[in-house]
Amino acid sequence: MNPPNSSSAGITRELPAVFALVASTAIGSWLFLGPSATPIVDRDTGEYTAAAFPMILGCGALLLALTIAATFVVRPLLVVPAVALPFTAAWTAGAASADESGLWAVGAVIALIGSTVGAAIVSVLTDSARKRLVKR
């Protein structure tokens, strides 16, 4: 459990992990949230619904796990954008394709702010815990 290095050589060593985190976040977010843009027809009522709650919980759990795991390998300053930007892009792609009102843009801003703040809090807390574990 080596702590992330703050030198430029450390950043170069962290790049493969950052790219893997970006890809995992984008693919995982799309797998959870992409299908939620497709309405589901309730057979009993004929109304359109979406099974969004389980998908949102699953996506949140995925982002939490990815952020925690990545913070053990990559510094928090790199983890936050590597989680927030691909998540927002995946969410926006699904929302924009299903929304004709244009309000998906407001949701995209909210998703970006929320994922940035969430990833920052989780990565800073994880980094702090990691540093305490290394000192022992």
Answer whether residue 84 shows pLDDT above 80. yes
Strand spans (E) along 43-126:
48-49
- Report the 10 Å Cβ neighbour count for 116: 17
41: helix, strand or coil = strand
3-state helix, strand, coil in the chain (%, to 5): 75, 5, 20
Rounded CA-CA distance 96/110 in Å is 14
Rounded CA-CA distance 129/99 in Å is 41
Condensed to tens digits (0 to 9), the pLDDT of residues 45-60 reads: 877 666 577 788 899 9
Element containing residue 75 per DSSP (H, E):
none
Predicted TM-score (pTM) of this structure: 0.81
Pair of tokens at residue 80? 């936050």
Condensed to tens digits (0 to 9), the pLDDT of residues 96-114 reads: 877 788 888 999 999 999 9
Rounded CA-CA distance 94/4 in Å is 34
pLDDT at 72: 93
